[in-house]
Amino acid sequence: MVKGLIIDTNLSYLSGLYTRVARQAGVHPSYVSRVARGERRSERISRAIASELSKFVPARDTSGEGGQDRSGLSQIDLRRRLLRKLKSNPRLAKMSVMVIDLEHWVYRGQISRVSRLNLQSRIAANAAMIAASIEQFHRMSTKLEDFPHVLSLTDGDGIVLYSFGTTGMVREQGRIPGANWSRDYLGPSAAARAIAAGVPLIIVGSSERSGTMLPVRMACPIRQSDGHVAGVMVLSMDISPTRAEHQLEICKMAKKVCQVVERERKKPSRAHPRSQVQPFEEAEVHLARVMSMPQIDPSTRSHLAAMLAELEEKRREFLLRGNARKDSRKGNASARGV
C-alpha cells in the first residue's frame, strides 16, 4: 500500500514537470514536450528538464565504477564526443583553431620558475596586458564557477604573469606567477604551442591519465599587428563541461587585450615621454589587486606580498637615483654660472 502511494506521488510530480519547466523558461508546455521528444532543440530547455528530473532521480555518482559521468557516458565516450564536436565546429575551423588529441600525456618533471627579480621585470614590462586581462578573467571565471578551472596569462616567453580561477587550483595546476610553461613540464604546454604556432589551439588529454592535472587546455595567443606574440591566454578545465564556446570566448578576450597592448605601445612620444618609474607603479597596483582576490591561496599571497615589497623598494631606489642626478646637474649649471 505504501509502495503504491509513493508511485502515485511520483507520477503526480512527473505530470507537472513540463508545466514547471515551461513556467520557468516562459514558453508553452507543448514546446517543452517537443524538446523532450527530440522534435525541437534547445539547450536551455534541456538543462531545465534535466534539473527537474535530478530532483526526482538521484544523480549518478561520478566516482562510481567505469568512471561514468552524471550523463551516463563514460569518460572515454565524453572525450570522443568532445573531440568530434570541436573538430566539426565551423566557427573554430574559420578561426584556424588547432584541436590536438593527446590521450597519453608526457610529464618531463617539475615545472621550473624564473627568479623573483626576473618576474618583477616581466610584470613591469607587461603591466598594461595584465591590467586588461584581470577584468576579462574575472568575468569568464564567474561563468565557470560551477566547474574546476584555471585561467592564466603568460608573456611571449611562456612565463605566467597572472592567474585566476577555482580556489586552490592555481598552485595545484602549476599556474602561479613566475611558472615557466615554455616547455611540456606538467603535461603539454598550450602556451608554448600557441606561441610557436601563432594560432588558437585546444589540447584534449585524458582524465584517467592526467593525474591531478585538468585534461583540457585552451589557448589563444595575443598576437599584435606585426606578428609578435605579446602573450597567451590559457583556460584549463575538465572534459565534461568543455564547449567550443569557451575557446571562442578566450579568443574574444585575447583580441580585446591585444587592442589595449597595441594602444599602449603607440602611446609614448617625444612630446609626452612616459615616466620611467610608471611600469613599477603599475605593477604594484596590479599585484595589490591580485592579492586582494579571495581565490588566491595564502602561500601565493605571501609570495606576492614579498614581490610587492621589493617592487616598492626598487621604485624608491630609482627615484632617489633620479633626484641625485637632477641635483648634480643643477650644481654643475650653477658652477658654470648658467
Q: Is the pLDDT of residue 337 over 60?
A: no
| C-alpha to C-alpha distance for 239 and 228, rounded to whole angstroms | 31
Q: What is the mean pLDDT of residues 207-223?
A: 86
Q: Is the pLDDT of residue 116 over 80?
A: yes
Nearest to 257 by CA among 142, 168, 135: 135
Average pLDDT of the residues of the chain: 79
pLDDT at 329 (0 to 100): 54
pLDDT at 309 (0 to 100): 79
Burial track 275-285 (b if 16+ CB lie within 10 A, e otherwise): eeeebbebbbe
| C-alpha to C-alpha distance for 82 and 202, rounded to whole angstroms | 11
In this structure, the number of other CB atoms found within 10 A of the CB of residue 174 comes to 23
Q: What is the mean pLDDT of residues 235-244?
A: 93
Percent of the chain scoring above 70 in pLDDT: 75
User: Residues 297-336: pLDDT tens digits?
Assistant: 777 777 777 777 777 777 777 777 766 655 555 555 454 5
DSSP string spanning 123-189?
HHHTHHHHHHHHHHHHHHHHHTTTS-EEEEEEETTSBEEEEEESTTHHHHTT-STTBB-SS-SBS--
DSSP annotation of 243? -
pLDDT at 229 (0 to 100): 94
The strand pair at 98-101 and 201-204 is best described as parallel
Q: In what order do the strands lie in the sheet with 216-223?
A: 98-101, 201-204, 216-223, 229-237, 149-155, 160-165
Per DSSP, what are the bridge partners of residue 229? 223
pLDDT at 276 (0 to 100): 60
3-state class (DSSP) for residue 231:
strand
| C-alpha to C-alpha distance for 167 and 149, rounded to whole angstroms | 9
In the chain the beta strands, taken as DSSP E runs, fall at 98-101, 149-155, 160-165, 201-204, 216-223, 229-237
Nearest to 120 by CA among 295, 317, 299, 279: 279
DSSP annotation of 63? T
Sign of the alpha-carbon dihedral angle for 195, 196, 202, 205: negative
Nearest to 146 by CA among 51, 233, 64: 51
Contact 110, 121 (CB under 8 A): no
The strand pair at 98-101 and 229-237 is best described as unpaired
Q: How many CA atoms lie within 13 A of 282 on its CB side?
A: 19
Distances (CA, A) of 26 to 29, 30, 50, 51: 9, 12, 17, 16
